[in-house]
Every structure is written in C-alpha cells, then in structure tokens.
Amino acid sequence: LAPEAAYRSADVRWQIDKADVRTLPSAKEQEAYLRPRIYEGEMQKVMKQFPGTKYAALAAYDMIDNKLCGDWQGLPKCPEMEAGLYQKYADKYPDSSKAAQALYEATYREGVLVSMYMVEENRKRSEAAAANAQALAAEMKQRYPQSDYTARAASIAYRVQQQVPVYGNDRD
C-alpha cells in the first residue's frame, strides 16, 4: 500500500499545482521554461523509492506535463518534441496503464505535424509525419487492441491517410 499512498499523495498536490499554473497568463507561453514548473519532488520520490511499480510509471507520465508547450502557435517545434516525449514514455513503460494514452498523444501530434508541414510547404517532412502517425496507430492496434485510445489513434491515422487536417479543425 505504501507505493499507492505515496503516489496518491503526490498526485493530489500535482493536480492542484497543475490547475494553479494553468490559470496564469504565462500558461499560454510556447516554451515550458517561460512558465512556473509544477513541483516534481514528490513524484521523483515515488519513482526513486518504488522503481518498477505501476505508481512509478504513473508519476513519470505526470511529470511530462512540465515539458509540454503551452501554445504551439502553429509551429511544428512543439508537437515534434512532445511526440518524442510520449513515444519515449511508451517505450520505457510499455506495461503502464498510461502507455496506450501516451502512444495516442504521440499519434495525435504526428497527425498535427502533417498539417503544419503542409502549411509550410515542406512535403518531405509532412510525408514522414504521416508515415509516423500510421506506424504509431498500427503499433497501438498490435500492442493495445482493447484500448479506447487505439480506436482514437486509428481515427487520426484515417484522417491523415485521407488528407483531412488534424490541426486547426474546429470540429474535434
């Protein structure tokens, strides 16, 4: 029960701090270093004291929040970086309850990159992002066939395949 209690305690503080940080004007800044960071000490303590547990994996997923951009501002730099963060998490913690969600988030960001690169008229990178989105959706179908996130990733892969913009679509 100790790992669960430590994680739940850290998570309560994390959620409160996250909500507070999101109310600040700096929350919309593109760069993560331009806004206050959520205190990671308790999450790091969970990871250090209980490595290899599902709670360490959950703490690692939460800590991704501090690295995400506030507003992408239509530039591909942020979704590229964020897709990498989520893929790295899913590779490091494949059995985590958040692994499917992380791969979905990576798939979404790759789909967004397709649209962003098309606007920049960078066809080569757009095609690479489309291939990555398709590959991630296929990986999810293989690794997490029962997850709701797999169906959502398949929807993104389909939209990418049909050249329907994922980013800037007001109907999502």
pLDDT in tens, 154-170: 999 999 999 888 887 55
Tokens 């291939």 -> residue: 131
- Tens-place pLDDT, residues 117-133: 988 888 999 999 999 99
- According to the model, what pLDDT value does residue 93 have? 94
pLDDT at 88: 96
Q: Residue 41 and residue 5: Cα distance in Å, rounded?
A: 15
Report the alpha-carbon angle 62-157-143, nearest 5.
60
Tell me the C-alpha distance between 91 and 5, whole Å.
26
Q: What is the DSSP letter of 27?
A: G
CA–CA dist 10, 103 (Å, integer)? 24
Residues of the chain short of pLDDT 70, as ranges, are 30, 169-172
How far is residue 131's CA from residue 68's CA, in Å, rounded to a whole number?
A: 23
Residue 169, pLDDT score: 55
pLDDT at 170: 52
Q: Interior CA angle at 110 toward 70 and 33, to 5°?
A: 25
Give pLDDT, residue 2.
Answer: 87
Q: What are the tokens at 78? A: 């942020």
pLDDT at 142: 95
* Confidence (pLDDT) at 172: 46
Rounded to whole angstroms, the Cα distance separating 129 from 110 reads 5
